[in-house]
Structure 1
Amino acid sequence: MPDPAPRHPQPPESATTPAPAARPPFARLGLPVLTVQALRREGLTDPLPIQDAAVPDVLAGRDVLGRAPTGSGKTLAFGLPMLARLAGRPAIPRAPRGLVLAPTRELALQIERALEPFALGLRLGTAVGGIPTARQTERLQRGVDLLIATPGRLTDLVEQGAAVLDSVSITTIDEADHMADFGFLPQVTRLLDATPRDGQRLLFSATLDDRSVQDLVRRYLRDPVTHSVAPEPAAAVAVHHLLYVESADKPAVLARIAARDGRTLLFARTQYGAEKLTRRLRDQGIAVAALHGGKAQNRRMRTLAAFADGAVTALVATDIAARGIHVDAVSLVVHADPPADAKYYVHRAGRTARAGATGTVVTVVTPDQRAEVAALTSAAGVEVVAHTVRPEDRQLAQLTGARAPAGAPAAPPEPAARDRARPRRGSGRPHRAAERAPARRPHRRRAK
């Protein structure tokens, strides 16, 4: 009988076979080693849920439809694999190979800053309003690998021949629901029509129930894989409170809330209202600034930077300007004026509780607003807790960290002349004259 086939030699019992080294969390998504190392340098080791879900599919070349609220980490979810797929090829003058469309210039600039540490030799560029077109044209002429743009400015550049989109291999539409809110979808569709039909498309939105967004998905995304990180966008926010106040008490309540420790974001419905509230708070010693569409672009950028680095602790914003506010550690959002509809409520609330953190949202409600706010929060699908408060109530301090303001007028972050609202030329908005008058008042106070 023949001898049995020899077996593979076994190691001695004393020897141990080392287990394969565990791959870092971001590396297991398929990202390049250099990208994983760059993430580690930025202190990022574990992907957030939307990143964990979407990155492998984007890397695989799939079209992706993502429902992800602001602050969930979606910028890196689409940005990191876009950069990986664009690597290894030279930039082409005037012809970006990757494109991100964002609804506001602030968001576009924020995306560029977020992706810059991971570009690793790729050229990033922005095309947004409020910045000289010549500067952006020159940058495109030198070659941009990934262009982050607002629809209006990019449309202008394409019509001028400064940008061509026939080399775009991958496109992301970010915050598609807000594109629809602003009426930008016709421009978005024209831009998508200018890109190759077989290009990869990614679409991210906080909500997917908008019919125009659904039409966009059906028309431009091919067999998309869908990822959703939360059943409702508002679920990212920890707690929602209604603060019932008497009309006469409202200014004092807002001042005490704005004087709290930590970053506080207050919302006003109009530019005039934002300026008026900002002046009142500044007169009481609060480091506050206003952010709205009447500000010059460079002023808005400086205001956001001051809020991010803590020089300004309270920011008063309008809904449209707030589309670009992506600042971590905003622990409290205050509806100084109730929003116009449920979508705005959800978007305002999304400025806090970002990237897994907790946050609080309060709505200051006067007696004549109770029915309106009740209908609003019901439509937004949030559970609220109502409280009746006065300015010096302990409960107000417990809920929001409110405290008495310093009292002495605080200096504005920059000279008042640079803080003047600058309405856009030809806007024809009825509030333009009303905004100019408030901006002159700080000069009279300093003259005394």
Structure 2
Amino acid sequence: MTSDFARLGVPAALAEVLAERDITTPTPIQAATLPDSLAGRDVLGRGRTGSGKTYGFCLPLVARLAGDRQRPAPKRPRALILAPPRELASQIAAALAPLAKAARLSVLTVFGGVNQNPQVRGLTAGVDVLVATPGRLLDLSEQGHLSLRDVEVTVIDEADHMSDMGFLPAVKRILAATPARGQRLLFSATLDNAVNVLVKQFLHDPVVHEADSPQSPVATMEHHVLTVTPAERSDVIADLAAAPGRTIVFTRTKHGAKKLAKQLNGRGIPAVDLHGNLSQNARTRNLDAFGSGRVETLVATDIAARGIHVDDVALVVHADPPTEYKAYLHRSGRTARAGSAGTVVTIATPDQRRDVQGLMRAAKITPRVMPATTEELQGLAPGTRLVYSAAEVAERTPTAPTDASARGASGRGGRGRGSGRPGGRQQSASRGQSPQEPGRRPRGAGAGTGAGRAPAAARAGSTGGAAAFSASAGRSSGRRRSR
């Protein structure tokens, strides 16, 4: 039986690699761009984050290189993929690896923040596909470790983000160093004036495909605004983070991300941070802890808003509302991916409400605005709130603050908080058990009050104020406190 990818022109061997990973139906951006990119055309593709752009450019790139069976010369890669930031480059390389293996192609990833010597050795040995961030690529090129004269296909991923980060001059220098008649594929969440500069200067008669509206939210994504006082803010964030399931909490500053992760760990809620002040090794360890499910809360700056993909993120919390709508959409796009449902919550204090209203208008989103009562919080993030002992927090978090207090539960087991697969806004029963759809575990499934864990209590004011997370819940020997 011919697969849907094969019908678009994808070689059978590559379509089989996708089928082995249960990827059988192309996303809209893939269906739109693959026929032209496989035919060798320059392509300008716009699709929102999570739309499947990575396979949209990896498949034609591998197909083209596999077709001529050339061996790469030392220091002269045959294809180039540019992406910011480092984590996105690594994730692209991971998605590319099985396709490249099937075609017997080599892949090398280069980015800053780590020792360049292994990267230099890899380039010297010869590589078919180079996945790189712009800064490190230019450094290696200027040192004589790299030439782009043999590049047949150049891919620019997250082109608008490149511009936002100030990489546009570097990207222009890199594109100018590649052969003028090579194939160029440019993918972006938005097609603004900065992206058009690259298109006009470096793409040849490109085919333009826009798979969806740049401002359209995912259909299965629910948007909410919680109105809180400054005194309630930390308790509300902790309550949401303590619910079962993967949660990403966004802050505006690096200091804010570090501070909030430390506070959550101190409350017995395992959390890791992700921001530019961390070393590359620490960033990798923290992402691995979050991606594996060992830690279910990631506190991040906008470094995690673009391209970073982790399966089954049930909840995104804007602890600090972003300043512009594109950042809001990209942050929110970390949930409700690949057809799953997701919930987005923005925390708004009284002095932020007008700015948040303007932000939502610009994003063309009408959120549900509500006070942060216990009942509302339980509806947004169903399941028993769980805290851990200080020892368990330290075990789960590879770079957890060393001064995390022992305000967590005093249990002894160490069983996890549940799979945390999202299932929309299904309400959990009293101990975190939810009705299940076939093949999907709802948020909170598997959560309970087993050994080593204690439910975090919440309390609501009689006037509908914010539910306050109780840091002392862990001292209750596993018993639920009354509200």
TM tier, shorter chain? 0.7 to 0.9
Q: How does 1:394-405 map to 2 (within 5 A)?
A: 394-401=375-382, 403-405=384-386
Q: 1:288 aligns with which of 271, 276, 284?
A: 271
Q: Does 1:127 align with 2:106?
A: no
SS in 1 for 2:359: helix
Q: How far does residue 440 in structure 1 lie from its aligned partner after superposition?
A: 6.5
Between the aligned partners of 2:286 and 2:45, the Cα distance in structure 1 is 31
Residue of structure 2 in register with 1:107 after alignment = 88
Q: How does 1:34-73 map to 2 (within 5 A)?
A: 34-73=13-52
User: Could you tell which deviates more after superposition, 351-360 or 254-263?
Assistant: 351-360
Q: Deviations over 1:376-421 (max 9, x none)?
A: 121222221111123xx212211232654426446445698x738x
Q: Which amino acid aligns with 2:13?
A: L
SS in 2 for 1:26: helix
Residue of structure 2 in register with 1:16 after alignment = none
The structure whose Rg is larger is 1
Q: How does 1:299-338 map to 2 (within 5 A)?
A: 299-338=282-321
Q: Deviations over 1:111-160 (max 9, x none)?
A: 00011111121001111012211110100111110111000000011111
Q: Does 1:259 align with 2:242?
A: yes
Contact 1:293 1:321 in 2 (8 A): no
Residue of structure 2 in register with 1:430 after alignment = none
Alpha-carbon distance change, 305 to 415 in structure 1, aligned in 2, over 3 angstroms: closer
Residue of structure 2 in register with 1:216 after alignment = 198
Contact 1:255 1:405 in 2 (8 A): no
User: Could you tell which deviates more after superposition, 241-250 or 227-236?
Assistant: 227-236
Alpha-carbon distance change, 29 to 307 in structure 1, aligned in 2, over 3 angstroms: same
Q: How far does residue 208 in structure 1 lie from its aligned partner after superposition?
A: 0.7
Residue of structure 2 in register with 1:30 after alignment = 9
RMSD over equivalenced CA pairs, Å = 2.1
Q: Which amino acid aligns with 1:30?
A: G
Contact 1:259 1:402 in 2 (8 A): no
Alpha-carbon distance change, 295 to 413 in structure 1, aligned in 2, over 3 angstroms: farther
Higher relative contact order (CA 8 A, sep 6+): 1
Contact 1:287 1:410 in 2 (8 A): no
Contact 1:256 1:403 in 2 (8 A): no
Q: 1:142 aligns with which of 104, 115, 125?
A: 125
Between the aligned partners of 2:58 and 2:96, the Cα distance in structure 1 is 7
Contact 2:79 2:152 in 1 (8 A): yes
Q: Which amino acid aligns with 1:89?
A: Q
Between the aligned partners of 2:282 and 2:216, the Cα distance in structure 1 is 30
Q: Deviations over 1:146-183 (max 9, x none)?
A: 11100000001111111100111111100011001100
Between the aligned partners of 1:412 and 1:125, the Cα distance in structure 2 is 35
SS in 2 for 1:86: helix
Q: Which amino acid aligns with 1:263?
A: R
Q: How far does residue 322 in structure 1 lie from its aligned partner after superposition?
A: 4.1
Between the aligned partners of 1:324 and 1:270, the Cα distance in structure 2 is 19
Q: How does 1:141-290 map to 2 (within 5 A)?
A: 141-209=124-192, 211-236=193-218, 238-290=221-273
Q: How far does residue 62 in structure 1 lie from its aligned partner after superposition?
A: 0.6
Contact 1:54 1:227 in 2 (8 A): yes
Between the aligned partners of 1:48 and 1:138, the Cα distance in structure 2 is 37
User: Could you tell which deviates more after superposition, 172-181 or 346-355?
Assistant: 346-355
Between the aligned partners of 2:87 and 2:310, the Cα distance in structure 1 is 11
Q: Deviations over 1:280-330 (max 9, x none)?
A: 211222121111111110111111111111001010001124435211211
Q: Which amino acid aligns with 1:67?
A: R
Residue of structure 2 in register with 1:406 after alignment = 387
Alpha-carbon distance change, 410 to 222 in structure 1, aligned in 2, over 3 angstroms: farther
Structure with the bigger percentage of helix: 1
Between the aligned partners of 1:327 and 1:165, the Cα distance in structure 2 is 32
Contact 1:68 1:233 in 2 (8 A): no
User: Could you tell which deviates more after superposition, 41-50 or 80-89?
Assistant: 41-50
SS in 2 for 1:339: coil
Q: Deviations over 1:404-448 (max 9, x none)?
A: 4426446445698x738xxxxxxxxxxxxxxxxxx6744999xxx
Residue of structure 2 in register with 1:92 after alignment = 73
User: Could you tell which deviates more after superposition, 406-415 or 228-237?
Assistant: 406-415
Alpha-carbon distance change, 353 to 321 in structure 1, aligned in 2, over 3 angstroms: closer
SS in 1 for 2:320: coil
Unmatched runs of 5 consecutive residues or more in structure 1:
1-21, 421-438
Unmatched runs of 5 consecutive residues or more in structure 2:
408-483
Structure 2 length normalisation: TM-score? 0.80
Structure 1 length normalisation: TM-score? 0.86
SS in 1 for 2:205: coil
Q: Which amino acid aligns with 2:150?
A: S
Q: Which amino acid aligns with 1:71?
A: G
Alpha-carbon distance change, 148 to 123 in structure 1, aligned in 2, over 3 angstroms: same
Kindly tell me the number of residue pairs found equivalent between the two proteins.
Answer: 403
Q: Which amino acid aligns with 1:84?
A: A
Q: 1:355 aligns with which of 314, 333, 338?
A: 338
SS in 1 for 2:368: strand
Q: Deviations over 1:258-277 (max 9, x none)?
A: 01111100001111111211
Contact 1:102 1:151 in 2 (8 A): yes
Q: Which amino acid aligns with 1:394?
A: E
Identity %: 50
